[in-house]
Amino acid sequence: MSLPSSESSSPKEAARHDRVLVVLATPVSGCFDYLVPPHLSVVIGSVVVAPFGNRRLPGIVLGPGTGDVAVEKLRYLEEVAAVATLPDTLLLFMKRFANWTVSPLGAVAKMILSQPSALAPPAMQKQFFMPQIAPPEKRLTAARQRVYAVMADHVRRCAGDISAAANVSQAVITGMVAQGLLDVEHVVADQPPPTPRHDLPGLVLTATQTTAARDLSAMIGQGFSTTLLDGVTGSGKTEVYFEAVKAALQAGQQILILLPEIALSAGWRNRFAARFGVVPVEWHSDVSAAQKRRAWRFALDGKLSVVVGARSALFLPFKNLGLIIVDEEHEHAFKQEEQVIYQARDMAVLRARIEACPIILASATPSLESWVNAGATGGPARYRHVVLSDRVHGASLPQIKAIDLRKTPPERGRWLAPPLVEAIAKRLQHGEQSLLFLNRRGYAPLTLCGACGAKVTCPHCDSWMVAHRLAGRMRCHHCGHETRPQRNCGQCGESDSMQACGPGVERLAEEVLWRFPEARFAVLSSDTVGTPKAAQNFIESVQAGDVDIIVGTQMAAKGHHFPNLTLVGVVDADLGLAGGDLRAGERTFQMLSQVAGRAGRESRTGEALLQTLDPENPVLTSLLSGDRDQFLATEAAARAHAGMPPFAQLAAVILSAPEDTKLHEAMRLLAASRPVFDNVDCFGPAMAPLAYLKGRHRARFLLRAEKTIDLQHILRGWLANVKLPAQVRLHIDIDPYSFL
Ligand code: ADP
Ligand code: ZN
Ligand code: ZN
């Protein structure tokens, strides 16, 4: 037994059996018994490698084996990974998470063990340093003298660093070692990231900020609590939650900051670096495997203090988590819609509860759920509510006005109405910047034949192909299918008959060029600005004043600070309200307040103009009157009346299959055993609004239940006894957001 238990407490010891229960990091339901070979030793939480079919998979030891399978049929564990035992809190989180989302435990284990490189034994590295007695320099070659000049500070360096600093080949270094001119030592290559400093001064906080910061910091070390940090854009929420980060650092705890990927800008990084003296350690899809390996291992060792990441950072194996922050908590990017479907903000609250630490949810436009949980509708307050109601520099919020497109429509084939055009012209005269917002990528959302009316659609989805003229492509925004644009109609054969309908940002840019040929404009969308680096360049060029008019999608709505931007024009304020999903109004309100908040962040008051065909819509009237709470209250009342979340529970069961017949078979099977309980409604099956997506036919059941019902239990009971045809996939979406 080579790997003794790191802890001697009895639950850990319970697993010291020859036969253990293991959850494998793969989305199959259930756990498996394995035999522990005599040369290995495992405890609960050990990360192991086990044979599974003809694969080897990482897994986690959960306890003694169940004994359900005859011992002759069991296989042996192959290895224990060279990492510390996973904490009990993480194992509990994994189980509760799987339970809540009704997903296989192995799928959650897979998200925890997502980084195979993190499990490999640490790599070794050679480090070079000056010997005790150095020979006189004059007998050295010029190259060797340069090495000595670099190494004179007695700092240990790897070969790469020396050769770069002294401009020598690595052979020079090896030669010096051979002759005893340099000493070398083998060390572990991974070094922990520098610890953020808690002793640097921050900005001088305003009185309101100070009160809020004290309030948040007081929660550190006091067990589980959830606080909604609710502050208008520009009220300095980041500075305030940095104070809580500081308090947790001082207490020697680990801190997790979750941001929607889009919000993790260079601006945020720089502010963190200015406040804490080091760049933050990051965890998201753009981070390299080597960096992820370090973050994962040092989180587990407790040597990593702060991680800022996207939703997947929620699965890091923290040893001593003391604070979680979810910034922009209302963002839909926190909902993962693929594979395991989950809401990272809600699961972050679960994790905080299990880790017994505080969690802060920050937003200028809180989600209805969080707002209701904070007791704002008069119900029980499960969250604390800290409010920042003023902008720091005394800057006022932008004036929001509607442009009624029924009264002042744009010319045919144009999208900017006269009052908006006038407002832009005024900004150009004054040397100020404008942002035109349209949440539609590409040139036109629809292309059709002028002769026969045929629409260009995606062969794999029930959706239109979007024209992207800059790229010279037609693209499906659902599955990514691409084709070359056709000049002739594929249906009737008419030549040159294809017409673009409706605007995307590229088409809007065309109009800007036509109306304001002298203005400098730029398009900000994921197609034109695809990488974080490009986004940073874009932001810098706007800040430097190189751009007069920005034409942007939702990428332009987030967190950027453009001091000289005084006008925001929303080209189609009704766009997000179509489609009628549960959160359409809420999402539109959040998006439009965010984008309007881009205007006039400093001394000048900004203006936001919303083009609409329906200015009486409650979403718009609340925006115009600047009464966010009024909007939330109305929305909450409507949801309560309809028996919808957050006042009831909703779950979707989505079936999909490449063949229609198989799908219908599965629908019949599930319908035959549909759950029948008091206070539970089962709707469907209905074909999904996008009934054909990514080459699969789709149908959906919707379950609605009172809050007191264990909906997950009902779902499990229902689905456990149904044997679906092969090829049919089933997804469960607890609290669905997307109704596609
Ligand atoms: P929010 O997240 O609420 O929109 P931020 O934290 O991003 O607000 O702050 C908005 C701007 O105000 C930032 O440029 C920030 O540096 C600045 N700021 C915040 N607090 C202060 C303060 N106390 N003194 C000076 N500037 C501040
Ligand atoms: Zn045609
Ligand atoms: Zn498609």
Q: Could you read off the pLDDT of 484-516 as tens digits, one per residue?
A: 999 899 899 999 999 999 999 999 999 999 999
**Residue 126 CB–ligand 1 contact under 6 Å:** no
112-133, pLDDT tens digit by residue? Answer: 999 988 898 877 788 899 888 7
**Residue 203 CB–ligand 1 contact under 6 Å:** yes
Q: Which CB contacts under 8 angstroms, 24+ apart, belong to 366-370?
A: 366/228, 366/230, 366/329, 366/330, 366/632, 367/329, 367/330, 367/586, 368/583, 368/586, 368/632, 368/635, 368/636, 368/639, 368/646, 369/645, 369/646, 370/228, 370/329, 370/330, 370/345
**Residue 206 CB–ligand 1 contact under 6 Å:** yes
235-292, pLDDT tens digit by residue? Answer: 899 999 999 999 999 999 999 999 987 667 778 889 999 999 999 999 998 888 888 9
* Per-residue pLDDT band at 40 (split at 50, 70, 90): very high
Nearest one of 19, 73, 79, 76 to 46, comparing CA atoms: 79
What is the C-alpha separation between 516 and 514, in angstroms, rounded?
Answer: 6
Query: Distance between alpha carbon 468 and the CA centroid of its chain, in Å?
Result: 26
89 or 380, higher pLDDT: 89
Tallying the residues shown for the chain, one arrives at: 740
Please check whether residue 355 is in contact with residue 96, taking contact to mean a CB–CB distance below 8 angstroms: no
**Residue 237 CB–ligand 1 contact under 6 Å:** yes
User: What is the reported pTM?
Assistant: 0.88
pLDDT at 5: 39
Nearest protein CA to atom 2 of ligand 1, as residue: 237
State the ligand closest to the CA atom of 263: 1
**Residue 353 CB–ligand 1 contact under 6 Å:** no
Structure token pair of residue 63: 């306890």
192-248, pLDDT tens digit by residue? Answer: 888 999 999 989 999 999 999 999 999 999 999 999 999 988 889 999 999 999 999
Structure token pair of residue 471: 């790229």
For residue 335, the CA-to-ligand 2 centroid distance in Å is: 40
600 or 677, higher pLDDT: 677
> Ligand 2 being an ion, which residues bring their Cβ within 5 A of it?
449, 451-452, 454, 489, 491-492, 494
Q: Which CB contacts under 8 angstroms, 24+ apart, belong to 50-53?
A: 50/22, 50/24, 50/75, 50/77, 50/78, 51/75, 51/76, 51/78, 52/24, 52/26
Q: Which atom of ligand 1 is nearest to the CA of 388?
A: 3
pLDDT at 112: 97
Give, in order, the Cα–Cα distances in Å from 599 to each of 229, 425, 693. 22, 16, 38
pLDDT at 711: 96
Nearest one of 672, 679, 730, 669 to 706, comparing CA atoms: 679
**Residue 275 CB–ligand 1 contact under 6 Å:** no
**Residue 558 CB–ligand 1 contact under 6 Å:** no
Rg (CA), the chain: 29
**Residue 234 CB–ligand 1 contact under 6 Å:** yes
DSSP 204: P
The residue behind tokens 């019902």 is 709
pLDDT at 721: 84
- In percent, the amount of the chain with pLDDT more than 70 equals 96
Q: Which helix (H) or strand (E) holds 166?
A: helix 159-166
The torsion angles phi and psi of 612, rounded to 5 degrees, stand at: -150, 155
For residue 395, the CA-to-ligand 1 centroid distance in Å is: 11
State the ligand closest to the CA atom of 204: 1
Q: Which atom of ligand 1 is nearest to the CA of 235?
A: 3
599 or 657, higher pLDDT: 657
pLDDT at 262: 66
- Can you state the percent helix, strand and coil of the chain, rounding each to 5? 35, 25, 45
* pLDDT over 90 (residue 518): yes
54-87, pLDDT tens digit by residue? Answer: 999 999 999 999 988 888 899 999 999 999 999 9
Nearest protein CA to atom 11 of ligand 1, as residue: 234
**Residue 290 CB–ligand 1 contact under 6 Å:** no
For residue 391, the CA-to-ligand 1 centroid distance in Å is: 8
**Residue 392 CB–ligand 1 contact under 6 Å:** yes
pLDDT at 303: 94
The residue behind tokens 């090495």 is 147
**Residue 585 CB–ligand 1 contact under 6 Å:** no
pLDDT at 1: 32
